[in-house]
Chains A and B, each alone.
Chain A
Amino acid sequence: MGRTATLAAWRPDPGNPKQQVAMLVDTTECIGCKACEVACKQWNQNEYRINQELGTYQSHPSLDAQTWTLIKFIEREDEDGVNQWLMQKHNCMHCSEAGCVTACPTDALHYGDYGVVTLDQEKCIGCAYCEPACPFDAIHVDKSAFRQTAQKAGKCTLCFDRISNAMQPACVSTCPTDCIKYGDRGELLKWAYARVEQLKAMGYANANVYGDKELGGLHELYVLLEKPEVYGLPVNPTLSKRLTFWKYGLQPVGKAILGAALFGMVINWFAARRTFKGGHGPGEEAEAPASLHD
């Protein structure tokens, strides 16, 4: 299965927003070229930021508010001492049970059509509660010092503006080896399991599908050559009870008492205070608040 007949031409049903779409990355055919990174920035008109770490082919240490997809490079030897250079495209997984949606106090993050986790930039107040709530480190708030007041979250949109116009996501469309596939989630999963069987028959005993069941089912799926932990992917990730209580217990109460707008302002004040009092400096990792994440 490649791009053209089944996937390039594929488009979600305009009359059925409940349909589940997904991207599938067959990492066994990824050549780590970073075309997806460039095409993503190009389409979304994101900024280039030169912050490559030393001693690696990876272009950025992690995703950030302007970098929504990233190839991770993993160098290792397999059990037989044979060289492996694994490449894994990383971006928002569009979880069915998403930590970011759960943490978001303003509903800027919500479950959109086709299973896409949507970020409404206008509603985003830059509080960054979503950052530590994401088990995949896939959403970030711009922490550039010069943008303190206008900071917003940024992440992969699954190119919603393209897919809803019957185009492929930019990264899928550009992929030189067609290893990034896009289409109906169920169809992709079927293909993924068949591919894993094929890989096992070729001697890759650890081949597996990632994303089928995790967090209620991800909309970014992987065919992996090795176990998920080799790629730094969380095994059986879950959302903490505190996080779900915050979203579905406290937030409605707060909003009911203060009104949604005022509630947002209060949250905003807390968030801004954290930034201005030296919360995160530019380029620093957010301290992961244990209270929001198990």
Chain B
Amino acid sequence: MPGLGTSFGRGAMTTSFWDIPNADVVVFMGSNAAENHPISFKWFLRAKQKGAKIIVVDPRFTRTASKADMWLPFRSGSDIAVLGGLINYAITHNKIHRDYVVKYTNASLLVNPNFKFEEGLFSGWDAQTKKYNQATWSFQTGPDGALLRDDTLTNPATVYQHIKRIYGEYTSERVSEISGISVEDFNKFAEIVTSTGQAGKSAVFAYAMGWTQHTKGVQNIRCSTLLQMLLGNVGVPGGGIAALRGHANVQGATDLAVLYHDLPGYLGQPTEAHKTLAEFLDKTTTKQSYWINKPKFMVSLLKAWYGKAATKANDFAYDYIPKMAGNATYSHYDIFQSVLDGKVEGLLCMGQNPAVGSANAKKVHAALAKLKWLVHVDLFDNETGEFWKLDGMDASAIDTEIFFLPAAGPLEKEGSFTNSHRLLQWKHKAIEPLGESRSDGWYINELGKRLKKLYASSTAAKDAPIRDLVWEYDHPEHPDDFDHLKVLKEINGYDMTTGKPVAGFGALKDDGTTACGCWIYSGVYPEEGVNKADARKRGAPNREDGWTEAKKDGSADYLHLGWAFAWPANRRILYNRASADPQGKTWGKVPLVWWDDAGKKWAGCDVPDMLPVEPGKVHAAGVPGDTPFIMKAQGMGGIWGPLADGPLPVHYEPVESPIQNPLYKQSTVPNARTFGSEHDKFGTTAEFPYVVTTYRLTEHQTSGVMTRTLGFLAEAFARPFVEISRELAQEQGIRNGGLVEVSSARGKVKVQAMVTNRVKPLKMGAKLVHVIGLPIHWGPKSGHVQGDIANTLTPQAIDVNVQIQESKVFLGNVKKA
């Protein structure tokens, strides 16, 4: 999550569910917790019971909105306009938390005098290459190399003055015109949110795929981080950004870098620009931050992977790891494009159903049919493994060789998941795998063993990474399982000499004497036989209704430090040093961490997210004792944060939009990506006049393979539908429950109409825009209940920073079928 990473230093939810009840204001924007994270909603409701205002900004009146104090319907894709409007409101109404902004963020730094922002483009734009040269986005430095700053925030070159100027255009009237929220409602909303711009008050923003699935997904999130920093709401009780992740282990799979651009623990994947280990470390390490320890983490990773073959002399086998080409991307959507381009010929697909879950499904189907071979590991048959059975496919003409491997179910294996708030929790095996099914890990272990055998006799240099790969995970007792704890121990890290686990990442070294598979997880298995992911000591309840709430004296273990293990170092609330003022005294409504003057250390009811340095002094790593963001240079939060599409988030229209950008001549993200294959078509309002958004329901999970296959969930919501307003239904002569055809430039689907007052036409200035909503859970082959694939309609228009598709907003049409 580069949105959060750029601003705060770590790409993860900043807070924990247990802290939500401390909030004064909860804003759901781009998320729908009551439906998609129902148990988390328990904690949001507890905030409400304690007096917090709950505000839902969503095109649809969701089950979350049904419990909110305020629902603001708005046009999907106008999030930055709304958030920018809040920033403008906070600044012009003098609602910012000034001390926080000056001391804890880079708002006071002076930006390069040649920086410009005009007509929707930042300085350095090259229209030819469609890339930014970021030279003018730098900070000014003095003769000694130190960053120049103005703590009065009045110098026109300060970050603060830039945002004041840029968001100055985001007036309530402008916001209304772009988003469809009335000026009156917006001002009411802004007043509530910005009331938290002071010590002792906090707001939490909860987002999910409603913010990420846009061509400006990262900047949507960035914009909320700016606002939250201006209001002093990050790292404080009841504050932060609640990034509600999708799948059970999406955080873990991201931490462990099942992603093209990364290595475990956010070390980054080398590119051709990183010729040696030293060069890689030099170019990718944030100076004056805790990241200066990165060599220890990287060398320990290489030792974990290649053991004795990784030596100082061979750069610890750095060359074994693939280097990405120039600026190439190898993302989800690049995979399918590369299959169509004839590059990728084999696909291993494990627990995933891209034939239904990926944007522009027909393009994905075409790509699957071009594969030479496909391995599909799942509990159930689904549309990916059986794409050749889909309508319109001529199986006899499809040459893809397919292997289906039966996966063990969730109750049939042990292991850990990392939840949305970075908590690693251990699962015990309840029953043996059914039939011939095996855990996914067993398959990977077997595949690794077989490949090592196949390459054992090779002497080619290219095969050394496999020959030297440390790969001994057979279970000591069960041939049908792998050794889960041995893997956990390797992830945690161990001493190469003694073989004993390391206690935490502080013990890792860059001389090859330690091994560690994922440094941020270090500490989860600190001693032989001690699995902290399986720790089960919760804090004592201190309320009559049985939960544990924070206390003013800091005595309550409301963050349950003895329950499971949170990365990093069991910290429950990231950046919690911000809960104390620059001198280290609590300034929130309840204490989190503070400087213990007597003990000369940071103390608290959470594990302090701080280096051992007194306020007023500077740690050897370059982080001062009075700034909280230790993974950022000098500990300063990044209000200014250069990314591929700009150093600040500004409003752009979606790739398919009913209007031109009312703010800038540059209407859309200038370097948003599309692919240009025959399947990548885009529509206009002439043919597709309505704004379509896609979403999930309580009763199902993504492509439905894990839910339409379970009888109780199949009956709980049986059929796909489209939600349309009463007004649009009347216009089109559509009745509730009737069959309709929804179309976009990519294709069409037939679903039942749900005519409702929970979707309303939006008044954007003089223009009336209809929004329609389509859930994504159905596919034509799998499960007890089937339906057309909603993702047939969504475009593969993707964010330049993280390559996520814009499935939350596109143009479509609806008519009676």
Binding site for B on A (CB under 8 A): 1-6, 8, 28-29, 31-35, 37-38, 41-42, 47-57, 59-60, 75-77, 83-87, 176-178
Within 8 A of A (CB), among B48-91: 61, 63-67, 71
Q: Is B736 an interface residue (CB 8 A)?
A: yes
Besides A33-B698, A34-B716, A50-B714, 9 more A-B contacts (Cβ < 8 Å) are A5-B543, A33-B35, A33-B63, A48-B715, A50-B718, A50-B784, A51-B718, A52-B715, A57-B717
Given A33-B63, A34-B698, A83-B71, are A50 and B715 neighbors across the interface (CB < 8 Å)?
yes
Residues of B752-773 at the interface with A, using a CB-CB cut-off of 8 Å, are 752-758
Chain B 541-553 per-residue mask, 1 if CB under 8 angstroms from chain A, else 0: 1011111000000
Size band of the interface chain B makes with A: 35 or more
User: Which residue on chain B has the smallest CB distance to residue A84?
Assistant: B66
Known: A34-B698, A54-B737. A176 touches B38 (CB 8 A): yes
8 A-B pairs with least C-beta separation: A4-B546, A2-B545, A54-B737, A55-B737, A48-B711, A55-B736, A85-B66, A31-B34
CA distance A197 to B711 in the complex (A): 41
B115 in contact (CB, < 8 A): no
Instruction: Report the separation of the CA atoms of residues A31 and B67 in the bound assembly, to the nearest whole angstrom.
Output: 7
Contact A59 B67 (CB under 8 A): no
Q: Tell me the total A-B contact number using a CB cutoff of 8 A.
A: 121
Interface hit among B39-47, B230-238, B333-341, B492-500: B39-47
Q: Which of A3, A31, A53, A87 has the most CB of B within 10 A?
A: A31
Does B757 lie within 8 Å of A38, measured CB to CB?
A: no
Q: Name B735's closest neighbour in chain A (CB-CB).
A: A55
**Cβ of A56 to closest chain B Cβ, rounded Å:** 7
Which chain A residues lie closer than 8 Å to B752 at the CB level?
A: 54-55
Cα distance, A75 to B757, chains bound together (Å): 8
Q: Which residue of B lies closest to A198 (CB)?
A: B49
Which partner residue on chain B sits nearest A49 by CB separation? Answer: B715
Given contacts A33-B63, A34-B698, A55-B754, contact A178 B42 (CB under 8 A): yes
A9 to chain B, nearest CB (A): 8
**What's the Cα separation between A258 and B175 when bound, in Å?**
80
User: Given the complex, which residues of A lie within 8 Å of B65, measured CB to CB?
Assistant: 83, 85
Is B66 within 8 A of A54, CB to CB? Answer: no
Q: Please measure, in the bound complex, the distance between the C-alpha atom of A219 and the C-alpha atom of B39, giving whole angstroms.
A: 27
Q: A4 and B545: CB pair below 8 A?
A: yes
Among B711, B715, B717, the one with the most A-chain Cβ atoms within 10 Å of its Cβ is B715
| Nearest Cβ on chain B to A167's Cβ, whole angstroms | 16
Within the complex, the shortest CB–CB distance from B700 to chain A, in Å, comes to 11
Q: Is the CB of A38 within 8 A of B716?
A: yes
Task: Give B713's nearest chain A residue, CB to CB.
Answer: A38
The reply to whether the CB of B468 lies closer than 8 angstroms to some CB of chain A is: no
Residues of B within 8 A of A50 (CB): 714-715, 718, 784-785
How distant is A217 from chain B, measured CB to nearest CB, in Å?
25
A48 to B543, CA, bound (A): 38
CB distance from B725 to the nearest CB of A (A): 12
State the CA gap A6–B541 with chains docked (Å): 13
Contacts of B756 in A (CB 8 A): 75
For residue B544, which residues in chain A have a CB less than 8 angstroms away from its CB? 1, 5-6
The distance from the CB of A45 to the nearest CB of chain B, in whole angstroms, is 11
Contact residues, B422-467 vs A (CB, 8 A): none
Inter-chain contacts of B712 with A (CB < 8 A)? 37-38, 41-42, 48
Determine the chain B residues whose CB is within 8 A of the CB of A77 once the complex forms: 757
Bound Cα distance from A3 to B546, whole angstroms: 7
Residues of chain A contacted by B35 (CB below 8 angstroms): 31, 33
Residues of chain A lying within 8 A (CB to CB) of residue B737: 53-56
What distance in Å separates the Cβ of A79 from its nearest Cβ neighbour in chain B? 15
What is the distance, in angstroms, from A244's C-beta to the closest C-beta of chain B?
37
Which chain B residues lie closer than 8 Å to A55 at the CB level?
Answer: 721, 736-737, 752-755
Within 8 A of A (CB), among B692-740: 698-699, 711-719, 721, 736-738
**Which residue in B39, B64, B66, B785 is a CB contact (below 8 Å) of A176?**
B39
Best-buried of A33, A49, A53, A86 by chain B (most CB within 10 Å): A33
Contact B547 A2 (CB under 8 A): yes
Give the chain A neighbours of B753 by CB distance below 8 A.
55
Bound complex: CA A57 to CA B758 (Å) = 12
For residue B713, which residues in chain A have a CB less than 8 angstroms away from its CB? Answer: 38
In the assembly, what is the distance between CA of A6 and CA of B543, in Å? 11
B66 touches A32 (CB 8 A): yes
Pick 14 A–B contacts, CB within 8 A, sort by A. Answer: A31-B38, A31-B67, A31-B698, A33-B35, A34-B699, A34-B716, A37-B712, A42-B712, A50-B784, A57-B717, A83-B61, A87-B66, A177-B42, A178-B42
Given known A-B contacts A2-B546, A33-B698, A52 and B757 have beta carbons under 8 A apart: no
Please state if A85 and B758 are interface contacts (CB–CB under 8 Å): yes
**Cross-chain contact A37 with B66 (CB below 8 angstroms):** no
C-alpha gap A34/B714 in the complex (Å): 12
Residue interface bits B177-213, CB-to-A below 8 A is 1, else 0: 0000000000000000000000000000000000000
A54-B739 Cα distance, complex, nearest whole Å: 9
Which chain B residue lies CB-closest to A54?
A: B737
* Interface pair B755/A3, CB less than 8 Å apart: no
Q: Collect the chain A residues with CB atoms within 8 Å of residue B546's CB.
A: 2-5, 8
Q: What is the CA–CA distance of A173 and B509 in the complex, to the nearest angstrom?
A: 48
Option from A8, A33, A178 in Cβ contact (under 8 Å) with B34: A33
Q: Which of A29, A38, A54, A87 has the most CB of B within 10 A?
A: A54
Q: Which B residues are CB-close (under 8 A) to A54?
A: 719, 721, 736-738, 752
Q: Which residue in B66, B545, B714, B736 is a CB contact (below 8 Å) of A1?
A: B545
A56→B784 CA distance, assembly (Å): 19
Cα A53 to Cα B736 in complex, Å, equals 11
Instruction: Give A9's nearest chain B residue, CB to CB.
Output: B546
Q: Decide if A52 touches B719 in the complex (CB within 8 Å).
A: yes
Q: How far is the CB of A34 from chain B (nearest CB, A)?
A: 5
Distance in angstroms from B714 CB to nearest chain A CB is: 6
Distance from B238 Cβ to chain A, minimum over Cβ atoms (Å): 19
Please name the residue on chain A nearest to B64 by beta carbon: A31
> Once the chains bind, are B41 and A176 in contact (CB under 8 Å)?
yes
B541 shortest CB reach to chain A, Å:
7
In the bound complex, CA of A186 to CA of B217 (Å): 52
- What residues of B have a CB within 8 angstroms of the CB of A49 in the complex? 715
Q: How far is the CB of A173 from chain B (nearest CB, A)?
A: 13
In the assembled complex, the Cα of A4 lies from the Cα of B541 at a distance in Å of 9
- CA–CA, A49 and B715, complex, Å: 6
A83 to B69, CA, bound (A): 11
- Residue interface mask B743-758, A partner, CB < 8 A = 1: 0000000001111111
B43–chain A nearest beta-carbon distance, Å: 10
Q: Inside 8 A of B717's CB, which chain A residues have their CB?
A: 52, 57, 59
Task: Fill in one digit per residue for B149-179: 1 if any A CB lies within 8 Å of its CB, else 0.
Answer: 0000000000000000000000000000000
Check if B66 sits within 8 Å of A31, measured CB to CB: yes
What is the CA–CA distance of A1 and B758 in the complex, to the nearest angstrom? 31
Which B residues are CB-close (under 8 A) to A178?
A: 42, 545
Closest B residue, CB atoms, query A8: B546
**A117–B71 CA distance with the chains assembled, in angstroms:** 41
| A residues in contact with B784, CB < 8 Å | 48, 50
Contacts of A6 in B (CB 8 A): 544-545
Chain B residues closer than 8 Å to A2, beta-carbon distance:
545-547
Bound form: Cα–Cα A86–B758 in Å: 12
B297 to chain A, nearest CB (A): 38
Given contacts A32-B66, A33-B698, A50-B714, contact A4 B547 (CB under 8 A): yes
B718 interface neighbour in A8, A52, A76, A85, Cβ under 8 Å? A52
Could you say which residues of chain A place their CB within 8 Å of the CB of B45? 29, 177
Chain A hits for B38, CB < 8 A: 31, 33, 35, 176-177
Q: Which residue of B lies closest to A81 (CB)?
A: B757
| Distance in angstroms between the alpha carbons of A42 and B716 in the assembled complex | 13
Which B residues touch A53, using CB under 8 A?
737
Bound complex: CA A104 to CA B551 (Å): 56
Bound-complex Cα distance A76 to B758 (A) = 9
The reply to whether A60 and B715 contact each other, CB–CB distance below 8 Å, is yes
A51 to B714 Cα, complex, angstroms? 10
Q: How far is the CB of B57 from chain A (nearest CB, A)?
A: 14
**Chain B: CB-nearest residue to A181:** B545
